[in-house]
Structure 1
Amino acid sequence: MEHVDVAVIGGGQSGLAAADALVRHGLRPLVLEASGRAAGSWPRYYDSLTLFSPARYSSLPGVPFSGAPDRYPHRDEVAAYLVSYAARLDADIRTGTRVGDVRAESDRFVVSLTGGGQVAARAVVAASGTFGRPHRPVLPGLERFTGEVLHAAEYRSPAAFAGQRIVVVGAGNSAVQIAAELAVVARVTLASRGPVKFARQHILGRDLHFWLRFTGLDAAPVGRFLRTPPTQLVIDDGRYRAALTSAAPDRRELFTSIEGGEVTWSDGSKEEVDAIVLATGYRPDLPYLHNLGALDSAGHPRHRDGTSLTHRGLAFVGLEWQRSLSSNSLRGVGKDAARAARRLAAYLARS
């Protein structure tokens, strides 16, 4: 059995940030990435996706984004940046290596790989993100819908939906962006339980993220300054508000029922729909920890600020609201990774 200091599960932005931080503490991390390259979920996002934050605020520790600092990098640029970042790391990164199970044995963890083989690690960082676990909420009658149902994780471009009647469920950034680009080629409704709330992309000539950093809100600990995660805001430079104002897409309250291919709206009207896109977010993708007892009944990790409450030597990086507003983003994951590495290094020095 191979022995390592720390097994980092996930080779996307969170895992790479964790590996960098661990190396800085003199540890020997092994990064295990299920996909074919160390770019996490970025290559699988929809085709038109760009970062919400400018390049100047979107780098992992030590390697700034190249190019104009105030541009918003495209999905493919982010994927290429991560691959380049991985190549610079003094860490063993193994792609095409999926973790099936983690179990605890006395003073170590045993990491079992789905392709065979095991790794013994003194510590583990779970950094596999959320993209592999799309959230599909229970919606009235959705199981009886005879049209196409897909999650935003499966959506790529509007081309396949030309001329169709589409309902996009959600009120966040992805929901509004997907609905707006579909509305160019199809008749689209954005359906949500509450109204869409916007945040201006630029304030007094500065990007919103400048002000988040300037005020300290971006890294402010949840629970101290942010009692609960605030209402999700759609970051907008004016295009998406204008699209909704012009009813392209239109916005309605969530449908009340579905029968066959027919949707019933809250006003009692009915209409045939071709497809429903669920832009309803994600949940932590940590199936390999189920047998370890490190998760609650809903599959969420039991942790405080990324430190496991059930197992010494287990840490999490890249969880939404792990510690702050920016915890699961390129601009913020480095801080959480540094914190996790510092704590793991102290634990391993004592053990």
Structure 2
Amino acid sequence: MTQRTDVVVVGGGQSGLAAGYHLRRLGVDFTVLDADTAPGGAWQHTWDSLRLFSPAAYSSLPGRIMPAQPGETYPDGGHVVDYLADYEKRYNLPVQHGVQVQAVRSDGARLRVETDAGDWSAGAVVSATGTWARPFVPAVPGRDIFTGRQLHTVAYRRPQDFADQRVIVVGGGNSGAQIAADLALAGVDLTWATQRPPRYLADDIDGRVLFDVATARRRALDEGRTDTRGVASLGDIVAVPPVRAARDAGVLAALPMFTRLTATGATWADGSHAEADTIIWCTGFRPALAHLAPLGLRGPRGHIQTEGTQAAGESRLHLLGYGDWTGPASATLIGVGRPARDAARQIAQLLST
């Protein structure tokens, strides 16, 4: 039997919860379908030492300031999970956990959401599935002949798992720097390879500044002014305390990207070689949008063209939390609130016509 609601929100992480908060405030009937069996979104799957880029008060969803974590300026992933679980409960958001959305299809005047627990009929859909479920690994020559272990950021947990191993970490973003620092400070035999030399943001810059910069860039673009390049103009890596400690101790030196993998390690353009037991690919993610494929909206690089959060080719669909293309800093805790509010308002207006 097909269930009916005004809005289905796909994904119960930070973006889905922010959407639910604003839909609830507007009196819209909705349900949130989340593939995870417990609250917390992707944060419950991160590595042990992960830290936010901002203090708790500047990492909050709408309506509820994140409480500080005792003894920590920058909260860890477990603290975020607890906060999201409390947020879901505090606002009595109708999240159904353990439900995998398989497809969203047009069904006349409504959208049909097909899941492994039955179908839903909705007047609008908010897709808030993020990127964690779709890790990206580049097609580096020799990747298929390397005989050691290969894993992505999503599978890394702690440096103790790599004791007595030679590890190559690939990637010069925040994940690559944090995981490389985690391993280096634990004394693991580390090689860090990056596409370009690491660009650290100034030590006094954190997520508060990044949000303001991203917002200013979006405002400039909307007004037809020169692109400031936003956060990209400042650097690639936020110097959270563990990264700063490893950098200042001289154990976080990066090599250029290798040209190929061999059976036992990696080789560089100058002929040098590093033996490795494990390669950790900190090479980013792609938006998890396979459930939207039946709508035929995906364009270059798998993105769906949007006007704000609304899909350009489907007014009943909003995308939330995938990056700047769905709202300034919308993939962050502090940044998702504004686009979630805008999406909820547009949806309420659409449903009232």
TM-score w.r.t. length of structure 1: 0.91
- Aligned pairs (5 A) from 1:133-282: 133-183=134-184, 184-202=186-204, 208-212=206-210, 216-222=212-218, 223-224=221-222, 226=227, 228=229, 230=232, 232-237=235-240, 240=243, 243-244=246-247, 246-282=249-285
The equivalent residue for 2:104 is: 102
- Aligned pairs (5 A) from 1:288-307: 288-296=291-299, 298-307=301-310
Q: Structure 1 179/95 Cα, relative in aligned 2: closer, same or farther at 3 Å?
A: same
- Aligned pairs (5 A) from 1:102-121: 102-115=104-117, 117-121=118-122
Q: What one-letter code is carried by the residue in structure 2 that aligns with 1:135?
A: F
Q: In 2, Cα distance between the equivalents of 1:155 and 1:67?
A: 26
CA contact (8 A) 2:57 2:68 kept: no
CA contact (8 A) 1:28 1:91 kept: no
The question of 1:338 aligning with 2:341 is answered: yes
Q: What one-letter code is carried by the residue in structure 2 that aligns with 1:3?
A: R
**Structure 2: gaps (5+ residues):** none
The equivalent residue for 1:84 is: 86
Q: In 1, Cα distance between the equivalents of 2:274 and 2:336?
A: 44
Offset at residue 322 of structure 1 (A): 2.8
Moved more, 301-310 or 186-195: 301-310
CA contact (8 A) 1:109 1:122 kept: yes
The equivalent residue for 1:317 is: 320
CA contact (8 A) 1:29 1:91 kept: no
CA contact (8 A) 1:263 1:271 kept: yes
Q: Structure 1 211/269 Cα, relative in aligned 2: closer, same or farther at 3 Å?
A: closer
Q: In 1, Cα distance between the equivalents of 2:241 and 2:114?
A: 49
Q: In 1, Cα distance between the equivalents of 2:293 and 2:229?
A: 26
Q: In 2, Cα distance between the equivalents of 1:42 and 1:208?
A: 19
Q: In 2, Cα distance between the equivalents of 1:61 and 1:93?
A: 17
CA contact (8 A) 2:147 2:264 kept: yes
Q: What one-letter code is carried by the residue in structure 1 that aligns with 2:93?
A: A
Q: Structure 1 208/179 Cα, relative in aligned 2: closer, same or farther at 3 Å?
A: closer
Q: Structure 1 237/7 Cα, relative in aligned 2: closer, same or farther at 3 Å?
A: closer
Say which structure is richer in helix.
Answer: 2
Q: What one-letter code is carried by the residue in structure 2 that aligns with 1:200?
A: A
Q: What one-letter code is carried by the residue in structure 2 that aligns with 1:4?
A: T
1:196-233 alpha-carbon deviations (Å, 9 max, x no partner): 0011242xxxx6444456xx424235334646562552
Q: What one-letter code is carried by the residue in structure 2 that aligns with 1:18?
A: A
Moved more, 162-171 or 236-245: 236-245
1:227-271 alpha-carbon deviations (Å, 9 max, x no partner): 656255211157535634655233111111222113112321123
CA contact (8 A) 1:4 1:30 kept: yes
Moved more, 122-131 or 319-328: 319-328
Q: In 2, Cα distance between the equivalents of 1:274 and 1:66?
A: 41
Give secondary structure in 1 for the equivalent of 2:78.
Answer: helix
Q: Structure 1 138/228 Cα, relative in aligned 2: closer, same or farther at 3 Å?
A: farther
CA contact (8 A) 2:69 2:79 kept: no
The equivalent residue for 2:42 is: 41
Offset at residue 67 of structure 1 (A): 3.0
CA contact (8 A) 2:159 2:182 kept: yes
Q: In 1, Cα distance between the equivalents of 2:53 and 2:168?
A: 24
Give secondary structure in 2 for the equivalent of 1:7.
Answer: strand
CA contact (8 A) 1:11 1:38 kept: yes
Q: In 1, Cα distance between the equivalents of 2:82 and 2:316?
A: 31
CA contact (8 A) 2:140 2:261 kept: no
Q: What one-letter code is carried by the residue in structure 1 that aligns with 2:352?
A: A
Q: What one-letter code is carried by the residue in structure 1 that aligns with 2:134?
A: R
**Structure 1: gaps (5+ residues):** none
Give secondary structure in 2 for the equivalent of 1:235.
Answer: coil
Superposition RMSD on alpha carbons, in Å? 2.1
Q: In 2, Cα distance between the equivalents of 1:84 and 1:238?
A: 27
Q: What one-letter code is carried by the residue in structure 2 that aligns with 1:233?
A: D
Q: In 2, Cα distance between the equivalents of 1:228 and 1:157?
A: 34
TM-score w.r.t. length of structure 2: 0.91
Q: Structure 1 237/289 Cα, relative in aligned 2: closer, same or farther at 3 Å?
A: closer
Q: Structure 1 325/313 Cα, relative in aligned 2: closer, same or farther at 3 Å?
A: closer
Q: Structure 1 255/211 Cα, relative in aligned 2: closer, same or farther at 3 Å?
A: closer
Q: In 1, Cα distance between the equivalents of 2:343 and 2:74?
A: 29
Q: Structure 1 159/68 Cα, relative in aligned 2: closer, same or farther at 3 Å?
A: closer
Q: In 1, Cα distance between the equivalents of 2:40 and 2:54?
A: 18
Q: In 1, Cα distance between the equivalents of 2:319 and 2:176?
A: 27
Q: Structure 1 237/77 Cα, relative in aligned 2: closer, same or farther at 3 Å?
A: closer
Offset at residue 119 of structure 1 (A): 0.4
